[in-house]
Amino acid sequence: MTAPQEHEQQERRRHLAAVPEAGPEPGAQPTVRTVPGHVVGTSAASGWAGAAGRRLGALLRAGLARHAALARDWIADNEVEHRARLAARRRITRDRVHAEKRQAKGKTEAQKADAEVQLARAQREPGEIEVTARMAGIRSMRAAVCAAVPTGVVAGPVYLTLAQGEWATLLAWPAVAGYLAVQEWAAGTPTGGAVAPGSAPVAHAAPSQAHPPEAPVSTGAGPSVLDPDPEPEAGQDPPVVARSESEQRVLARLRRWAESAAERNMRGVQAGEPVLDELGIWVRLHLSGRWTPDRVRKHEDQLRSMLGVATRTRTQLLAGAADDDMVLRIRTRSRDLDTTWSPTSHGLGLDTDTGEPVDISDADRMLVCGASGSGKSWALRPLMARTVRTHHDHLIYLDAKGEEGRLWRGRARVATSPAEIDQVVSELHHEMVRRGQAMVGTTWQGPRLVVVVDEGRVVLSNCEKATIQALIDISAMGRSRGIVLRWCTQYPTTSGEQPGVHKQILPNVDQQLCLRVRSAIHARVGLGDEYAHYKPQEIPTEAQGAAYLAGYGPTLIQGWRLDDTAVAELPERDPWHYGQDDADVEEEDDWIGAQHAVTAALRDAGGQASQSALVEATGYSPSAVKQALKELKGAGRVTKGESHRAPWRLL
């Protein structure tokens, strides 16, 4: 190669080699290379398209993640266990009703024995195996639904397009994508970047007053649970810091209230700042739009599901200061109360919120209902003991079950067999009629008779029709005449072949005490339609003696525990019988009533009768009749002949 050729080749290599670009000098303008005939464009269009794509992708990913989380929560919802237990209890109720019908219609001993075996099985609580199996079935069904929806959206248009030629079905994909994007955009999901699967925006509750005056908090001031380390203010109790796992779960979901409420079409219900105190969690709810307190109560199960409340934890929806305010109570805690009865104990029992005693009037007629094992008999003992300890009052105990009555013999008039109950009720009815004739005013001023019927269903099934009618009359007219009826049953129904309380007795009661019952139907009878939302069917099984009192508010009352030993230590009393001397009260304070009774008896006897006949006709004691005749003779209304056996005559 000649020298000129070698030089030319080196020049060609130098021009073809990559030359490093030098950066612009400091302060110099960048050099822009242009091509003739072309307009120099910027990257704004491509940048906007990229940002929009990233925004749309983030919305779609967030929507898919949110709906996947919703599906997961729906499948693993705590409400599944609640539904499974309700279904198991409904099955037991159907079995019990079927067994009772078979027992009533059984003609042979074998049929009746078989029905009794089935009835005994139907009295048991649902087994955990059955509940677990039902939970598995419900969750499997929900999982199948959650899998079927996306599968149908993805595969359905492909099948219809290939098999049927329906190309328009492919529009389902952009429609679903648009739906997810719009949902996330409406929910205000951040779109500056990709949203991690399972993450969701946290909606913090608006700050509110920690303890509003109308909030149902009895003592102390609970700290805000949104503050992880609240500091107690001067003069306040130290904050509650030991939170259980279930409380942590509820509080975490309360922080996402706005998002969760929107997903469940409850945007008109807004939650304030939750507070944790010695009774659990409470939060104020503000209602707007079409939401009313009654509508919120109907959606209580949905609220429990949304917050992940444990199945055995009670919730209460209380009235707020205004019609558009409510307070949601989640009873994750309870007071440690000493409910041992003593002679100084007062009332039915203690309010589980305040620890204060709750009482009713001695003159109030009462319905007490509760399932077997709920502590119904124990709930009555404090009131029965008070009657025994009151000198002038008498206790009459119609114990159709024959179990509790043996403890009260020697302290009350006890009847257990149907014949004994018929006899005692007949005497009570005659006493009510006698007192009505002897009354001067509108209220009886003499000794009070407290009549306890337990079990009402057995009485209605086994006693004579005349006895049942007499009890209806006593429930309607006995209160003003000093005869108070208290009806107890574990089957609070008014219809069917064997009702627990007669439909003509229920409207006459003044108080309704309801312990744990089996169903919402029993709750409506036990507390009335107005207070059935207390939900006594959700009282825990282990809470024996705990009850709701209609009209007292949805606050549990824990009854006094008066055991057999305490009953045996009550003072002994002579049992009441019709026609007996009602102590000095009748002789001293009721002689005016005896005058009316004697006058009526003389008129019924044709104008004359002996003193012994007047005692038998009026039911008053001989001394009361003698005093009444003396006063009537002094007033010139009756007279008697000189003979000792001469009858008294009405002038």
Q: Could you list the residues known to form a binding site, using ranges.
A: 370-377
Question: Which residue blocks in 308-362 are alpha helix, DSSP H?
Answer: none
Contact indicator for 559, 378 with CB cutoff of 8 Å = yes
Q: Any residues with CB less than 8 A from the CB of 447 and at least 6 apart, and which?
A: 392, 393, 394, 482, 582, 583, 585, 586
CA distance 75 to 138: 8
Contact indicator for 189, 207 with CB cutoff of 8 Å = no
DSSP 160: I
Contact indicator for 147, 84 with CB cutoff of 8 Å = no
Binding-site entries for ATP: 370-377
In single-letter form, the type of residue at position 3 comes to: A
| Residue 193 in tokens | 């970047």
CA distance 602 to 633: 13
DSSP 545: T
Q: Any residues with CB less than 8 A from the CB of 466 and at least 6 apart, and which?
A: 422, 426
| Closest C-alpha to 274, from 294, 255, 299 | 255
Radius of gyration of the chain (CA): 40
For residue 428, CA distances in Å to 19, 244, 477, 546, 592 come to: 121, 56, 12, 32, 22
CA distance 118 to 124: 11
CA distance 38 to 252: 59
CA distance 184 to 193: 13
Q: Please report the DSSP string for 375-409 in residue order.
A: -HHHHHHHHHHHHHHSSS-EEEEEETTSSSHHHHB
Secondary structure of residue 471 in the 3-state scheme: helix
| Closest C-alpha to 327, from 369, 371, 391, 281 | 281
CA distance 129 to 126: 9
Question: Which residue blocks in 76-127 are alpha helix, DSSP H?
Answer: 79-105, 109-122
Give all strands (DSSP E) within 123-254, no chain letters: none
CA distance 134 to 84: 5
List the strands of the sheet with 608-609, edge to edge. 608-609, 648-650, 638-640
The two beta strands, 638-640 and 557-559, are unpaired
Secondary structure of residue 551 in the 3-state scheme: coil
The two beta strands, 413-415 and 394-399, are parallel
Element housing 585 (H / E): helix 583-589
